[in-house]
Structure 1
């Protein structure tokens, strides 16, 4: 995992906010892409905070309406679970035509796999002005437990 000040060419934070599941995130400029650096007390909290950062990368003002919907992913590692969860958020946006926001997530191991049980509130895309985020990438992705038992993550999105 990178130090919070190590941005590998990024020009610094462009926005910071508290995530809906107790975590915090910062949007960071990243060449032609956008990156999210997030922290939280729990693994599920940092997943939700990165997803909240994804939402913020797509839309500056999010209306309060929208119905909650569930998401569930399984993967072989925590990093793969984070990638698949964020990819599922983008997929849900494209299929449901909603902006996933107000993310909640729990992450655990079940039968040797990492399972993410999550939900988001889906705001109709017709109600927002949203920037297109094309994909989550493994480029520079980092996920680690901190010395105090919390979690931090860094994820780059293709825009």
Structure 2
């Protein structure tokens, strides 16, 4: 586990580290799942894929986490066991640069767990930076 949950006034924060962008995005997503549920069953739920694009790297992290919260609500499943296959800078259809992520997660039915509602990801104090060869992230969630 490359993340740590931290209390943050009325919210909760995830501090994470990783050797690559894929690792750091996955670690923060795993932290979101841990903030939502203390104990995640390992024998239930099916994997699903998702893709997210944004114009900046930090916006991609925000949009990825926001999409996981949205999918939780729409699918009535908590996304867990995150696998981020790729995070890369690409050229959009109009020729401008953008960031793109390909990932998957396992959806655990909310009825199978005792989950706390994480309402939203915030830009408040958000950090995503490379320090001494590894990536560090800090993200605050509204609970």
Same fold, judged at TM 0.5 (above): yes
Cα RMSD for the two superposed structures: 0.6
Q: Which residue of 2 aligns with 1:78?
A: 57
Which gives a bigger RCO, structure 1 or 2 (Cα 8 Å, sep 6+)? Answer: 2
Match runs of 1:1-159 below 5 Å: 18=1, 24-64=2-42, 65-105=44-84, 106-111=86-91, 112-147=97-132, 149-159=133-143
Q: CA deviation at 1:71?
A: 1.1
**What secondary structure does 1:122 align onto?**
strand
| 1:25-55 per-position Cα deviation (integer Å, ceiling 9, x unaligned) | 0000000000000001100110000000000
- Count matched residues: 136
Give, in angstroms, the shift of residue 86 of structure 1.
0.1
Moved over 2 A (4+): none
CA displacement, residues 107-145 of structure 1 (integer Å, 9 cap, x when unaligned): 101111100111100000010000000000000000001
C-alpha distance in 2 between matches for 1:118 and 1:145: 21
List runs of 5+ in structure 1 lacking aligned partners: 1-17, 19-23
| TM superposition shift of 1:150 | 1.4
